[in-house]
Amino acid sequence: MLQQQLRQHQWKAFRRNPMFERNLAVRIFMYFVFGLVAIEFLSFGFILDTFLLKVGPYERAIDTFNSILPYLFVLDFIIKFFFKTNESMQIAPYLSLPVKRNKLFNFLLRKEFTNFWNFYFLFLVVPFALKAVTPYFGFTASVLYILLFYFLCIANSLLVSIINNLISKSAWFYILAGIRVVYPFFLILACKIDLGDYISRLGELFLNYNVWIYAAFIAFFSALWFINRLQMRDRLYYELQGDKVDKISSFSSLSFLDRFGVIGDFINLELRMILRSPRLKQQVVFSGVLIIGLFFYMLYAPNNAFSKSGPFILFFYGTFAIGLMGLIMGQYLFTSESSFFDGLAARKISLFELLKSKYILYCSYSLLVTLLLLIPAFQGKISGFLLLSLFFYTIGPIYFLIFQNAVYNKTYFDLFDKGMWNWKGQSGNMLTITLITMFIPVILALILNSIFGEMTANSFMLISGLAFTLGSKYWLKWTYNRFLKRRYINMEGFRSN
């Protein structure tokens, strides 16, 4: 009875929301997209066993599928980490009623069982399990295998919730998310553990009704459930503290930036804005992981499609991987503060210092990625001279062009709007100019590479990059003065939300 009433309350909150029509349209569209994904997964699930028998090293398709489960759940974790929101409700109003808090917490956790993010892989697994498991272990084992996979998806979701709650307290907990993604590859590449074979044997034990496997999974799932409930209780405690709630999420761990004065404060604020804005966090973090991962794949995977595409892919992906934060955030140079830009303009702060801090932050990101790419450079996968040239070419001429173009972007940008491919806050002209800015420098380097050779092209990128980098103080000042001349036009656009 209580569960039904709580569901009715949540539906009424959704129905009475002022943005009901918009939220309903978004839901209908998402259900349509998920329906298409479900149909594709269901179709592929019927032929997956035949495909795995051809390409897999095992005689049974289910063993091959079990061996790739660690990578499948890494993908599931990444998708949920960036796109799934934690289950939430206003619990405080119920505290005056004779309702136990644990019942409220369990209600939120039980919603994971009906969340589509825990269902979409089942459209692939159900037909596959019925075809691949039933002939060897029976129908009952195939049903249990489907239930195991379903509960593993929920466990992955609970783990995402735990890490997201920790990140809300300190950004350093992003390290935990990184460990969750990297550890299967670390065990295979660094520790030389055949993780796939180990997991396939555990899967076989499960299908043979091994009691210890069932007990271990129940204990693991119960632990995740219990930790989530403790975190909900902890979050509720902070909500009841009123003014203390703002102290939960802070960048106090980055207090070393305070020594840089106003520049450090602006960098801190920029990082907070990126991590707190769902849209910016999805674009910067998710795109960064994807692009850098593709670049490493291009360097290490033999005979891949990227390496066969010539120097354009190497130049373009190298530039995009090194300069990703600047390329994404540079187009929102001023519009990211559009919702409160009037307040910035009315205070005694230097917009030039704001501009300078953004450039330093983007260059710091580029430097970190370049240092990461030194690993394949030392292994001979990529030229060190090319890597150095791409770094200075990115933080020099390319950032210069991005910063100049951002001066003309005067559209309102909603920080808390969601969506990876959300074009709100971008005009058609700005998008076109941004794409031109990304491609023209790369095409110029390719022309020099084809006419004069790789050494000349790399030297041109290095020299021009050093010139623009060393002269950044002057062109940043020029950008600032150009914005001052347009500031009232831009601010009028910022208010048109």
Find where tokens 């934690």 sit. Answer: 86
Q: Please report which confidence band the pLDDT of residue 250 belongs to, taking 50, 70 and 90 as the band edges.
A: very low
Of 227, 229, 203, nearest to 217 by C-alpha is: 203
Is the pLDDT confidence value at 287 over 90? no
Give pLDDT tens digits for 346-377: 666 777 888 888 899 889 888 888 888 887 77
**Closest by Cα among 110, 106, 251 to 167:** 251
Cα end-to-end distance, the chain, whole Å: 43
Which residue would you say has higher pLDDT here, 214 or 248? 214
Is the pLDDT at 281 greater than 60? The verdict is yes
Q: What's the pLDDT at 151?
A: 92
pLDDT at 247 over 50: no
Query: pLDDT grade, residue 220 (50/70/90)?
Result: very high
- Smallest CA-to-CA distance from 340 within 230, 242, 416, 235 is with 416
CA distances from 446 to 389, 442, 465 (A): 13, 6, 16
Going 162 to 164 to 168 to 172, the CA torsion angle's sign is positive
* Residue 191: burial class (beta carbons within 10 Å; 0-12, 13-18, 19+): exposed
Average pLDDT over residues 154-170: 85
Ranking 115-129, 359-373, 415-429 by mean pLDDT, the lowest is 415-429
The percent of residues in the chain predicted with pLDDT above 90, rounded, is 9
Lowest mean pLDDT among 215-224, 258-267, 298-307: 298-307
- 72-95 pLDDT, tens per residue? 888 888 888 877 766 555 565 566
Helix, strand, or coil (residue 170): strand
Are 134 and 60 contacting, i.e. CB atoms less than 8 angstroms apart? no
Mean pLDDT across 292-315: 64
How high is the mean pLDDT of the chain? Answer: 77
The three-class DSSP label of residue 250 is strand
CA–CA–CA angle 66, 71, 77 (5° rounding): 120
| Alpha-carbon distances, residue 286 vs 79, 94, 117, 398, 462 (angstroms) | 9, 37, 17, 22, 29
CA-wise closest residue to 439 among 391, 403, 402: 402
Q: Where is pLDDT greater, at 445 or 223?
A: 223
The residue ranking higher by pLDDT, 320 or 225, is: 225
The helix (run of H) or strand (run of E) holding residue 446 is helix 428-452
Whose tokens are 């210890």? That residue is 212
271 close to 251: Cβ distance less than 8 angstroms? yes
Asked if 302 and 374 count as a contact pair (C-beta separation under 8 A), the reply is no
Between 496 and 447, the higher pLDDT residue: 447
Q: What are phi and psi of 437, to 5 degrees?
A: -60, -35
Alpha helix ranges (H) inside 111-210: 122-132, 134-137, 139-167, 174-189, 195-207
> In DSSP terms, which residues pair with 303 in a beta bridge?
none
Residue 177 CB neighbour total at 10 angstroms:
21
* pLDDT (0 to 100) of residue 2: 59
Give residue 243's pLDDT band: very low, low, confident or very high (50, 70, 90).
very low
Share of the chain above pLDDT 70, in %: 72
State the residue for tokens 């941004």: 434
